[in-house]
Amino acid sequence: MFVRITTDSIPRPNSLRDLGMRSESNAMVSLSEFSYRKGTEIYGEKEPADYVYQVKSGAVRSYKLLSDGRRQIGAFHLVGDIFGLENGGEHRFTTEAIVDTTVRLVRRQSLETVAQSDAMVAQNLLSMTTNNLQHAEDHMLLLGRKTSLERVAAFLLEMDKRLTAAGVMALPMSRRDIADYLGLTLETVSRALSRLHELGVLGFVGNTQRQIVLLDRQQLAGLDLQP
Amino acid sequence: MFVRITTDSIPRPNSLRDLGMRSESNAMVSLSEFSYRKGTEIYGEKEPADYVYQVKSGAVRSYKLLSDGRRQIGAFHLVGDIFGLENGGEHRFTTEAIVDTTVRLVRRQSLETVAQSDAMVAQNLLSMTTNNLQHAEDHMLLLGRKTSLERVAAFLLEMDKRLTAAGVMALPMSRRDIADYLGLTLETVSRALSRLHELGVLGFVGNTQRQIVLLDRQQLAGLDLQP
DNA sequence: CGGGGGCTTGAGGCCACTCAACGATAGTGG
DNA sequence: CCACTATCGTTGAGTGGCCTCAAGCCCCCG
């Protein structure tokens, strides 16, 4: 019998500043801001990874494409999330703003320089990469072995943890984005959501279909089925 | 237009010793060995991650299970590969020896102690984790968006790079293992291999079906379809 | 108010899964 | 040395879950 350590207990730097950037102690590090309109690209796959980003407002999708246009979204980056941190010299995903988005950014080189002398910063970089790895590992299980209903249930629970405010979850991404994240088609996602609605697991708020209230997290977790 | 940096150019420590373990300079680090019979568990998911392993001989699968028995293999570890390196305190996969296997192992704590003072070692840990992350990211694309034939083609090309000797690839894993790695059933994997055989892309050696010769890597790469 | 994008829903099709039978191989014990 | 058995792999027949194609609704926005 072992002590269960939850994901939440793993230290996670929650701002670029926490990665080791103290403005008073290191004047070389510049924290600038940049904004992107809905749908525009932030960087492309294979481009040199010169900057690391943090979402200040808005939402970002990062994805890979096959040559015939099939798309796999690897992650959504919401307010507070750090992305674009690659160890090698180039980005491995293309990223786009899902809605109008503002990001903070730092030069990657600044980070690496600091990491070489500060073990604490190096540890934070490793910790962030490990968190990304863990997310990818869980997502492989979802993509390889879960049914459409299980995938959508897992998605709702993930988003619930990350962006629910005042009981309602305002999804920034479209059905197509969700589908490409879950390895499904948008129609299948829509059908699954309708089914969950019929089951009384969730409700829609207002006229838009992007505001969702989870009515029965217990049942939803039962539909997901993790261990 | 950007310079393309291949995976191979990313520095990858190829032994536990390279991770910073110099036996003459650090007597505290013990490099012991251990052997596992075919099919036995090395460690289980959620167990404390006290050791880091390197395959000396044999092969290892690491996987996650759903409660109803569905299995997703996240990676195969072949001779020379390092596995079991978790940042948090517990393993995120169960690992088993696919065939009789001998591993080298070091205490995780030894590594972490060294990493705190040696930036080079810390950099190697990050580099290894990044390589694992990159593999997982590519595998998400495969699991989410590729057809069965594309998956099997990709698998053969991956194994070809990693374990082909003298033109023949001796697969240590069963069809079921391959299927659980690719998010398919064993029958579908078998059919895909038969189809590739008919197409003249590969040949079988001897009576066992686990020794494969790739006859047309070009065509196989065309069937995979990466970018 | 007209156009267009996003979402839902239905009908039909297809690819991978399920179930099943069979052959081949390797390991076991008489 | 040879049954005997278990495991592994292939192949076929049929099913089903998700995809494809299509129509229609709603809302936003110019």
Rounded to a whole number, what is the largest CA-CA distance in chain B?
A: 57
Q: How confident is the model at residue B14 (pLDDT cuts 50, 70, 90)?
A: low
Strand B32-36 to A94-97 pairing: unpaired
Q: How far is the CA of B220 from the C1' of C13 (A)?
A: 28
The CATH 1.10.10.10 portion of chain A extends over 146-224
Q: HSE (CB half, 13 Å, CA atoms) of A7?
A: 11
Say which residue the tokens 């950007």 belong to: B2
Work out the minimum CA distance from B49 to partner chain A, whole angstroms.
11
- Residue A86 CA to residue A52 CA, distance in Å, equals 8
Comparing CB atoms, the residue among B92, B130, B140 nearest residue A74 is B140
Contact flag B130-A86 (C-beta cutoff 8 Å): yes
Work out the minimum CA distance from A220 to partner chain B, whole angstroms.
15
Confirm whether any atom of chain D, the nucleic acid strand, is less than 7 Å from CB of A72: no
Two tokens, residue A54? 């943090």
Cβ pair A183, A70 in contact under 8 A: no
User: What are the distances in angstroms from CA B83 to CA A7, A150, B116, B128, B132?
Assistant: 20, 29, 20, 10, 10
Interval B41-69 mean pLDDT: 96
Ranges of chain A whose pLDDT falls below 50: 1-12, 21-28
Contact flag A183-B46 (C-beta cutoff 8 Å): no
More confident residue, B25 or B211: B211
Q: Which of A35, A42, A84 is CA-nearest to residue A58?
A: A35
User: Which fold is adopted by the domain B146-224?
Assistant: Arc Repressor Mutant, subunit A (1.10.10)
User: Looking at chain B from residue 135 to 194, which residues have their Cβ under 8 Å from any Cβ of chain A?
Assistant: 136-141, 143-146, 180, 182-183
Q: HSE (CB half, 13 Å, CA atoms) of A29?
A: 25
- Residue A149 CA to residue A182 CA, distance in Å, equals 10
Rg for chain A, CA atoms, rounded: 19
- Contact list in B for residue A221 (CB cut-off 8 A) is none
User: What are the distances in angstroms from CA A8 to CA A11, A24, A74, A126, A204?
Assistant: 8, 30, 21, 16, 29
Q: Is A111 helix (H, G, I), strand (E, B) or coil?
A: helix
Q: How confident is the model at residue B146 (pLDDT cuts 50, 70, 90)?
A: very high
Q: How far is the CA of A90 from the C1' of D23 (A)?
A: 44
Percent of chain A whose predicted confidence (pLDDT) is above 90: 76
Does residue B194 register a pLDDT over 60?
Answer: yes
Mutual orientation of helices B119-145 and A119-145 as an angle, nearest 10°? 20
3-state secondary structure chain B: CCCCCCHHHCCCCCCCHHHCCCCCCCCCCCCEEEEECCCCEEECCCCECCEEEEEEECCEEEEEECCCCCEEEEEEECCCCEECCCCCCECCCEEEECCCEEEEEEEHHHHHHHHHHCHHHHHHHHHHHHHHHHHHHHHHHHHHHCCHHHHHHHHHHHHHHHHEECCEEECCCCHHHHHHHHCCCHHHHHHHHHHHHHCCCEEECCCCCCEEEECCHHHHHHHHCCC
- pLDDT, residue A31, reads 79
Q: Which of A107, A94, A10, A3 is CA-nearest to residue A50?
A: A107
Q: How confident is the model at residue B19 (pLDDT cuts 50, 70, 90)?
A: low
User: Which of the residue ranges A2-6, A221-225, B138-142, B164-168 has the most confident prediction, judged by mean pLDDT?
Assistant: B138-142
Rg for chain B, CA atoms, rounded: 19
- Residue B194 CA to residue B212 CA, distance in Å, equals 12
The CATH 2.60.120.10 portion of chain A extends over 31-142
- Tell me how crowded residue B197 is: count the other CB atoms within 10 A of its CB: 14
Mutual orientation of helices B217-224 and B148-163 as an angle, nearest 10°? 130
Substitution target in B73, B129, B188 with the highest count of A β-carbons within 10 Å is B129
Does residue B227 register a pLDDT over 80?
Answer: no
pTM: 0.91
Q: Which residues pair with A203 in a beta bridge?
A: A213
- Contact list in A for residue B146 (CB cut-off 8 A) is 66, 70
User: Which fold is adopted by the domain B31-142?
Assistant: Jelly Rolls (2.60.120)
Substitution target in B65, B140, B143 with the highest count of A β-carbons within 10 Å is B140
Interval B171-196 mean pLDDT: 98
More confident residue, B31 or A30: B31
Q: HSE (CB half, 13 Å, CA atoms) of B105?
A: 19
- pLDDT, residue A226, reads 72
- pLDDT, residue A14, reads 57
- pLDDT, residue A87, reads 84
Q: Which of B29, B115, B92, B9 is CA-nearest to residue A125?
A: B115
DSSP state of A90: B
State the average pLDDT for chain B. Answer: 88
A47 touches chain B (CB under 8 A): yes
